Amino acid sequence: MNEIRGFQKEHRCLSNFFPAQVRFDGVDYPTVEHAFAAAKTLDPAERVAVLACATPTDAKRLGRRVTLRPGWDARPGAEPLKVEVMRALLAVKFWPGTPLAAKLLATGNAQLTEENTWGDVYWGVCRGQGQNTLGRLLMERRTALTEK
């Protein structure tokens, strides 16, 4: 099985920083990263501030400082809410029949690894260590698209 390590160049569209409008709770966000950072909180003012961020990097930084909603990082007997939200956002981004869905499908059966250098071992892999949760969710989404 081949592997796509890091979401850059022709695979940049797999990144949450890739410009792709997604709707979350009735609001359109310019990237999954913006929507994800906003979803961390239930505070409307904090969500508006995230939406106003000029770049996904700014949205990510602000998302680290918002008031986290209950269950975001852990829920007894269930996966963390953050995983459920990311799964939902990826379903919107890679909607069946869209160009982005076609690009995800074009990865075939490749192992998708969100390789990074900034130490994110939950969503990705850094220096060979990590859970690669984003990669796993992308592959899950790709499988769902093939079953449509």
Which residues span the domain enclosing 87?
A: 3-146
Question: Are 69 and 81 in contact, with CB atoms under 8 Å apart?
Answer: yes
Q: Say which CATH number the domain at 111 has.
A: 1.10.357.40
Q: At what angle do helices 32-39 and 81-93 cross, to 10 degrees?
A: 150
Band (53; pLDDT cuts 50, 70, 90): very high
Q: Which pTM value belongs to this model?
A: 0.96
Q: Is the pLDDT of residue 1 over 70?
A: no
- In angstroms, the CA 125 to CA 112 distance is 11
Total structural domains within the chain: 1
Q: Is the pLDDT of residue 120 over 70?
A: yes
Q: At what angle do helices 32-39 and 44-51 cross, to 10 degrees?
A: 160
What pLDDT digit, counting tens, does each position of 90-104 carry? 999 999 999 999 999
Tokens for 111, please give them: 């192992």
